[in-house]
């Protein structure tokens, strides 16, 4: 490779050297969050590391990584919490890492989360840089890092792993790497139920690309399809691969429970999870207005939801690519319209990073000092809130 080739490779969106400033900034923000969490937890006599690795969902993932599926808890009200609700890729990686390195499954989950969060930040940068340039890419990564619930990115949870797979799958779609996009969508489907959003993004983009290729005509007048038959094959293969992860796990759960395709829905129902179009969430918000102190929380929830919707609409107006709109739209809809535990909704929105792109563009237009002031203040606020939240109600 010549010096010119090396320079061009380093300048490509997603190249390590080009992404380095964003990754260093991301690591600094996450380090701040962990330091504040450690100090806050110590002041309360708690272990920050336990909060990150051995509570809530992280315990369920570690159990799956060890003896495998089959653990469930029956509550006094009759609900059944089964570990079949948790998709297998994270515990598989925990088991693999623990087999290679002398770590507990909880420790392995923490390492996987840290590495996956860096991969996610890199993927977010690659997408934003490809669309809007490096400055916007850095701002997008830092905005994702400073989110109020950004501390989840450092927990032994599956959000960081899923976001990494989703971001790189979307980047592969944007750069016409269909087999890579489908493979990553398959893995995302093995990570979280919302992996269906990645599958839908790949399918929507592939169909749109196929239609464009059929309607375009090269300069020599021959149909475009005649010039690139392998492109159709790659698109079709990517579409075929994309849903196999989610579909495979759901069908396996159905076989294990004896309920067929409905088996996974039954498992989720045992956790009081379902999709009701947002009715339960609306009732929850309305219930906040029964007294003055809680009414402020209700008002904050309404403002938060309105902001999320506004960011999505802005993305539509700015003509974000179709796969990003499909992905973020479905992630947002599934988060807001599910009847799951309401305190987890900010965490469920964490993978919807395309919602941050309008804000990243706005920050990129500011002077460096201005954007640094905004992001620095948000980093401090996010670190403090994350420590407070994780020492309080926190996830799930």
**Domain coordinates in residue numbering, the chain:** 31-216+227-274+374-390
**pLDDT of amino acid 4:** 34
Q: Of 69 and 298, which is predicted with more confidence? A: 69
Helices (H), strands (E): how many in the chain? 19, 2
Look-up of token digits 């988060």 = 335
88-105 mean pLDDT: 97
290-314 mean pLDDT: 89
212-227 mean pLDDT: 59
Pick the range with the lowest mean pLDDT from 10-24, 164-178, 227-241: 10-24
Binning pLDDT at 50, 70 and 90, where does residue 226 land?
Answer: very low
Torsion 207-211-212-213 (CA) sign = positive
Summarised one tens digit per residue, pLDDT across range 102-145 is: 999 999 999 999 999 999 999 999 999 999 999 999 999 999 99
Q: pLDDT averaged over the chain?
A: 91
238-259 mean pLDDT: 96
Q: What are the C-alpha distances in Å from 52 to residues 27, 88, 160, 178, 207?
A: 17, 19, 13, 35, 41
Phi-psi sector, 115: left (phi>0), alpha (psi -120 to 50), beta: alpha
Round to whole Å and give the CA distance between 16 and 21: 10
Task: Evaluate whether 140 touches 124 at the Cβ level (below 8 Å).
Answer: yes
Tokens of 121: 């930040």
Residue 89 CA from chain centroid, whole number: 14
Query: 315: cis peptide before it, omega within 30°?
Result: no
Summarised one tens digit per residue, pLDDT across range 313-340 is: 999 999 999 999 999 999 999 999 987 7
């Amino acid at each position: 490779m010549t010096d010119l080739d090396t320079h061009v490779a380093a300048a490509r969106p997603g190249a390590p050297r080009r992404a380095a400033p964003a990754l260093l900034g991301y690591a600094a923000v996450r380090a701040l969050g962990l330091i504040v969490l450690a100090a806050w937890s110590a002041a309360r006599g708690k272990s920050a590391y336990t909060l990150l690795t051995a509570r809530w969902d992280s315990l369920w993932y570690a159990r799956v990584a060890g003896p495998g599926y089959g653990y469930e808890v029956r509550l006094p009200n009759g609900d059944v919490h089964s570990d079949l609700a948790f998709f297998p890729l994270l515990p598989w990686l925990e088991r693999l890492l623990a087999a290679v390195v002398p770590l507990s499954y909880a420790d392995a989950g923490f390492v996987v989360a840290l590495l996956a969060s860096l991969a996610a930040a890199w993927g977010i940068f690659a997408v934003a840089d490809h669309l809007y340039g490096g400055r916007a890419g850095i701002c997008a990564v830092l905005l994702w890092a400073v989110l109020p619930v950004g501390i989840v990115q450092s927990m032994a949870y599956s959000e960081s792993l899923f976001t990494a797979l989703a971001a790189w799958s979307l980047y592969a779609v944007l750069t016409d790497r269909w087999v890579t996009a489908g493979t990553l969508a398959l893995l995302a489907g093995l990570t979280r139920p919302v992996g269906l959003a990645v599958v839908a993004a790949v399918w929507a983009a592939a169909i749109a690309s196929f239609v464009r290729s059929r309607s375009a005509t090269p300069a020599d007048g021959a149909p475009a399809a005649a010039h690139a038959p392998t492109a159709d094959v790659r698109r079709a293969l990517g579409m075929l691969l994309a849903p196999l992860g989610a579909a495979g796990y759901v069908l396996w759960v159905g076989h294990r429970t004896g309920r067929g395709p409905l088996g996974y829905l039954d498992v989720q129902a045992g956790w009081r999870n379902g999709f009701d179009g947002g009715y339960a969430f609306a009732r929850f918000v309305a219930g906040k207005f029964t007294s003055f102190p809680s009414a402020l929380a209700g008002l904050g929830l309404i403002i938060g939801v309105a902001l999320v919707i506004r960011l999505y609409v802005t993305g539509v107006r700015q003509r974000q690519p179709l796969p990003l709109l499909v992905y973020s739209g479905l992630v947002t809809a599934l988060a807001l319209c599910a009847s799951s535990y309401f305190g987890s909704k900010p965490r469920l929105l964490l993978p919807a990073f395309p919602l941050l792109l309008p804000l990243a563009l706005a920050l990129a237009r500011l002077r460096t000092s201005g954007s640094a002031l905004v992001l620095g203040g948000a980093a401090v606020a996010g670190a403090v809130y994350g420590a407070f939240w994780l020492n309080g109600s926190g996830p799930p």
